[in-house]
Amino acid sequence: MPRTSPLVIGHRGAPGYRPEHSRSSYDLALAMGVDAVEPDVVVSRDGVLVVRHENEISGTTDVADRPEFAQRRTTKTIDGAELTGWFTEDFTWPELSSLRCRERLPKLRPSSASFDDEQPVLRLRDVLDLVKAGSLEQGREIGVVLEIKHATYFDGIGWDIADLVEGELLEAGWGSGELPLTIEAFESTVLRRLRERGIPGSYVYLLEAAGRPFDAVAALGAVAPTYRQTAQPAGLDRLVGVVDGISVDKRMILAPDKLGRATGPSSLVADAHERGLRVFTWTCRPENAFLVAQFRSRGGAGAFGDYESEWAMIREAGVDGVFVDHADLGVAFFRG
């Protein structure tokens, strides 16, 4: 029997309404009733775990407008892709804490952008503490789904991110199993390292709709398995006993054809469940820009389309968790 009420996870807080990973984004998600929130972590120059979607921060902070940091603009290769901008690993935490959050998609979400430059960048510890406090205030368990970004890259510049995460979780009181913790990454090696350290929680392997995991590419080169191969039954077999579940691009469930018509739900969720693996999916967003073509409406990229029909197909697939940007819509739909 498929689940009718998957875990509703506030993706970077509630970024449909506030700049992602800002304090108000997380506060709003908790107030709207999510089951968990999802912080992404990268590393500062002095080894602090910073909550940003990427280590390149020009799109989500005011760093480009800060003349004192102008000389730190540089070009790097991150997971095989060349990027130009400002990177967390070139800043100390005191410097990063002086930056202010900005909306990543200001043209699509102008209301959220109206809160730009008001709130400082957060550390992982800040999010762990505010979720624990929110759980006590609301009298219910609220979880953290911690995403580790670019583990192989950070390892290459001298930071064992698994070691940093373990230390932070233990220090913040999230490393004993008493609070609902999920750890996820697009690289399975960092998940394995943390699991071997004995940090209790659920371990979830993130799968893109295309491409290969960078840790596998670094080790194996062109013969590294693709994410799509891992999502096939034989690939899922290899994950049993290694991770507790997978978290997939929603297109892998909706299976749109070349005309943008969903042909799903695909067999992926059922295949994973047969092997005892949980399945999360990302990201359920209502705007036309993010919907499969058949569910878009008039009004432009930022207008809400027929998101309920798309989300219904995801729910019917029997997923165990959904990442949402609009926490209130996600709670209303998936718990309704």
In CATH terms, 7-53+106-335 corresponds, of 3.20.20.190, 3.40.718.10, 3.30.200.20, 3.40.50.970, to 3.20.20.190
Check: CB of residue 205 under 8 Å from CB of residue 243: yes
Q: What is the pLDDT of residues 74-110, one digit of tens each?
A: 999 999 999 999 999 999 999 999 999 999 999 999 9
Rounded percentage of the chain residues whose pLDDT exceeds 90: 98
Using DSSP's 3-state secondary structure scheme, residue 176 falls into coil
Task: Quote the pTM value.
Answer: 0.97
Mind giving me the DSSP string for 69-92? Answer: GGGG-EEEEETTEEEEE-BGGGS-
Using DSSP's 3-state secondary structure scheme, residue 132 falls into helix
| 159, two tokens | 């930071």
Return d(Cα 127, Cα 237) in angstroms, integer. 34
Q: What is the pLDDT of residues 185-196, one digit of tens each?
A: 999 999 999 999
The predicted pLDDT at position 4 comes to 58
Check: CB of residue 142 under 8 Å from CB of residue 35: yes
- Average pLDDT score, the chain: 97
Where helices occur in the chain by DSSP H, the ranges are 23-31, 93-97, 110-113, 124-138, 151-156, 161-172, 188-196, 214-220, 227-230, 233-239, 251-254, 268-274, 307-316, 327-335
Q: Is residue 246 predicted with pLDDT exceeding 60?
A: yes
Q: How many CB atoms lie within 10 A of CB 256?
A: 16
Check: CB of residue 284 under 8 Å from CB of residue 10: no
Return d(Cα 245, Cα 292) in angstroms, integer. 25
